[in-house]
Amino acid sequence: GAVVSQHPSRVICKSGTSVKIECRSLDFQATTMFWYRQFPKKSLMLMATSNEGSKATYEQGVEKDKFLINHASLTLSTLTVTSAHPEDSSFYICSASMAGGGDEKLFFGSGTQLSVL
């Protein structure tokens, strides 16, 4: 089955630093990747949609200068949380849709727990 690898799984950083999270599709090409944020006992909130070779589309209320997304290849998308603050602490999850997959399902990474001190 299709596998999406996300790392790091957990990161603790100081306030003001930047953190990069990687999302890779290991055995398929992903034309589109999605980045979600999830608070405890809450649903996944879509932050942005990332298409290979083009600018990401951000959801309303998500600061594009704070959450930088790069989708440089069909197998890799990165999310960089710039100048992180404690309120950015959350569980971040990426997902990918398979190019030409036809069944429209999403494959999710295992998530990254970000804690900003």
- 43 is an interface residue for other proteins by CB under 8 A: yes
Burial (0-12, 13-18, 19+ Cβ within 10 Å), 39: exposed
Residue type, 85: H
Burial (0-12, 13-18, 19+ Cβ within 10 Å), 1: exposed
Q: Among 73, 110, 115, 117, which residue sits at the site for other proteins (rule: CB under 8 A)?
A: 110
Subset of 47-76 contacting other proteins (CB under 8 A): 49
* 14-22, 62-70, 71-79, 89-97 -> range binding other proteins (CB under 8 A): 89-97
- 105 is an interface residue for other proteins by CB under 8 A: yes
**Pick from 10, 2, 26: nearest CA to 91:** 10
Q: Which conformational region is residue 78 in: left (phi greater than 0), alpha (psi within -120 to 50 degrees), or beta?
A: beta
* 14-22, 37-45, 63-71, 79-87 -> range binding other proteins (CB under 8 A): 37-45
Binding site for other proteins (CB under 8 A): 4, 6, 34, 42-44, 46, 49, 91, 93-95, 97, 103-111, 113
